[in-house]
């Protein structure tokens, strides 16, 4: 039984034709971590390049963001497009029949595996603007200036490779979890260890009509207007909320809008660029953990920075002996004061800001950082996954590290529904090595 397109369109998805490398491909060398990771650690990407050598790899199909400021980005983009064409022409990449893929990702012995479902989501149902009420929404402020360089990569690309994680609010676990219960019965598509001790990943084909029907019915249940209104007192249904890859999906949307302006064909709305391949995950999956995204300021002027903090209101600073102690202390927050971790070459401790203007600490400190950067043109900020890296970079000369607490995932969807979005770079789904690796791809031309 084929699911009618109208049913799929109503819940904003399409069953994708996924491209996978041939059986002789070394999958450990094929899969690399999301391009927006390790942006201040060039040595990580150099190690990856040395490990891969001449083997087919998604490294040749993506643009690691640590290289975005290089002198001739067009040269790298051209090579990416050439590799895409070569991999398709030489059948290094082979297209599967329409199917969802169930993905199992393990990142450590003490952490539950997390599960996701590869689907194509409809960019017609997505709006990344601040006050969006679309079916698919951003969960943090989209920095529009970050879209053009990414669109330059995508606009002429023949395929897309997703590191996008999209969340559903499924406490009854009706969409993905029933597949997990029968995982031993599903066809294995891939099963291998990821490079650089990043865990293990497995993929399973989901193409049986009854399984697809269950998935679609489960998503329709989550999109039920009466149930949504009863839960949130809102009419505008939020079915999918961005977990990771916010700017990548925004780039896909911007590219699609540009295609619509230039393509007058009658079959335009069936153009493959209308959809984007993503991994759908249930926020209530036991393997999903929300980690804070910290900040590091470079070419840092300490005096000027603390003057900006003072402008925001009354604050205090208390020294601590370790970042571990700081992280424990800042996990407890109140509406009356926000606690933010700090380190530089000389000291480490907690900045406590009284009567904050923002709802959460990330919003409070981001306003201060944005104001500071306007007054110090020599300084710049990077957003860092992991306490160790933040401490290492923050303690370097002329730097400082800013540490934030994790977001409570139980309030995640409610915050997006009620407040539109989190401050940008507030949360991360795991540490850098736990991020999505590029495995699957899909034609967009």
pLDDT digit string, tens, across residues 348-401 = 999 999 999 787 899 899 999 999 999 999 999 999 988 999 999 999 999 999
Confirm if 221 and 146 have CB atoms less than 8 A apart. no
The pLDDT assigned to 276 comes to 98
pLDDT at 338 over 70: yes
Model confidence band, residue 32 (pLDDT cutoffs 50, 70, 90): very high
Instruction: Tell me the three state secondary structure of residue 145.
Output: helix
| Token pair listed for 149 | 């360089």
Residue 262: its pLDDT value, please? 87
Other C-beta atoms lying within 10 Å of the C-beta of residue 343: 23
Q: Are the C-beta atoms of 397 and 285 separated by less than 8 Å?
A: no
* Span between the terminal Cα atoms of the chain, in Å: 28
DSSP annotation of 299 reads S
Helix (H) / strand (E) containing 339 = strand 337-343
Residue 1 has pLDDT above 60, yes or no: no
The pLDDT of residue 124 is above 60: yes
Q: Give 194's DSSP letter.
A: P
Report d(CA 47, CA 61) in Å as an integer: 17
Q: How many CA atoms lie within 13 A of 330 on its CB side?
A: 31
Give the domains, in start order, of the chain with CATH numbers. Answer: 5-289+431-443 (no CATH), 291-406 (3.30.1760.10)
Least confident of 99-113, 210-224, 265-279: 99-113
Q: pLDDT tens for residues 416-442?
A: 888 777 877 888 787 888 899 999 999
Please give the pLDDT value at position 112. 86
CB 31 within 8 A of CB 194: yes
- 3-class DSSP state of 94: strand
Average pLDDT over residues 339-356: 96
Strands 165-168 and 159-160: unpaired
Q: What is the pLDDT of residue 110?
A: 67
What pLDDT, on the 0 to 100 scale, is given for residue 109?
63
Of 46-55, 311-320, 408-417, give the lowest mean pLDDT range: 408-417
The runs of H, that is alpha helices, within 57-208 are 73-89, 147-154, 177-181
Cβ atoms 107, 89 nearer than 8 A? no
Mean pLDDT, range 299-319, rounded to an integer: 95
pLDDT band at 309 (very low <50, low <70, confident <90, very high): very high
């Amino acid at each position: 039984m084929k699911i009618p397109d109208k049913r799929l369109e109503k819940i904003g998805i399409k069953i994708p034709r996924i491209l996978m490398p041939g059986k002789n491909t070394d999958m450990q060398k094929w899969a690399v971590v999301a391009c927006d990771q390790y942006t201040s650690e060039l040595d990580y990407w150099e190690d990856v390049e040395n490990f891969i050598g001449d083997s087919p790899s998604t490294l040749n199909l993506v643009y690691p963001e640590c290289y975005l400021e290089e002198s001739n980005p067009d040269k790298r983009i051209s090579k990416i497009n050439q590799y895409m064409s070569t991999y398709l022409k030489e059948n290094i990449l082979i297209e599967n029949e329409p199917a969802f893929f169930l993905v199992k990702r393990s990142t450590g012995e003490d952490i539950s595996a997390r599960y996701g479902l590869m689907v194509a989501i409809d960019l017609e149902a997505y709006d990344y603007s601040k006050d969006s009420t679309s079916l698919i929404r951003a969960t943090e402020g989209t920095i529009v200036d970050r879209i053009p360089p990414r669109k330059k990569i995508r606009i002429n690309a023949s395929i897309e490779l997703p590191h996008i994680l999209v969340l559903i609010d499924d406490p009854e676990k009706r969409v993905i979890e029933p597949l997990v219960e029968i995982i031993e019965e599903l066809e294995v598509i891939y099963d291998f260890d990821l490079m650089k001790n990043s865990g293990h990943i497995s993929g399973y084909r989901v193409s049986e009509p009854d399984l697809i029907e269950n998935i679609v019915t489960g998503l329709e249940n989550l999109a039920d207007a009466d149930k949504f209104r009863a839960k949130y007192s809102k009419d505008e249904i939020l079915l999918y909320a961005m977990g990771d890859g916010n700017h990548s999906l925004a780039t896909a949307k911007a590219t699609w809008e540009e295609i619509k302006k230039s393509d007058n064909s009658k079959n335009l709305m069936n153009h493959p660029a209308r959809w984007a391949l993503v991994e759908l995950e249930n926020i209530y999956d036991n393997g999903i953990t929300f980690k804070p995204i910290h900040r590091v300021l470079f070419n840092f002027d300490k005096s000027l920075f603390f003057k900006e903090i003072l402008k925001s209101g009354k604050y205090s600073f208390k020294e601590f002996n370790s970042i571990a102690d700081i992280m424990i202390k800042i996990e407890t927050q109140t509406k009356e004061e926000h606690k933010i971790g700090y380190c530089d070459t000389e000291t480490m401790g907690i900045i406590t800001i009284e009567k904050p203007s923002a709802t959460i600490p990330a919003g409070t400190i981001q306003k201060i950082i944005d104001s500071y950067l306007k007054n110090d043109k020599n300084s710049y900020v990077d957003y860092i996954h992991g306490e160790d890296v933040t401490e290492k970079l923050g303690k370097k000369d002329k730097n400082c590290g800013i540490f934030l607490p994790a977001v409570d995932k139980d309030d995640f969807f409610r915050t997006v529904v009620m407040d539109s979005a989190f401050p940008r770079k507030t949360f991360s789904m795991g540490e850098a090595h736990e991020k999505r690796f590029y495995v699957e791809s899909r034609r967009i031309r």
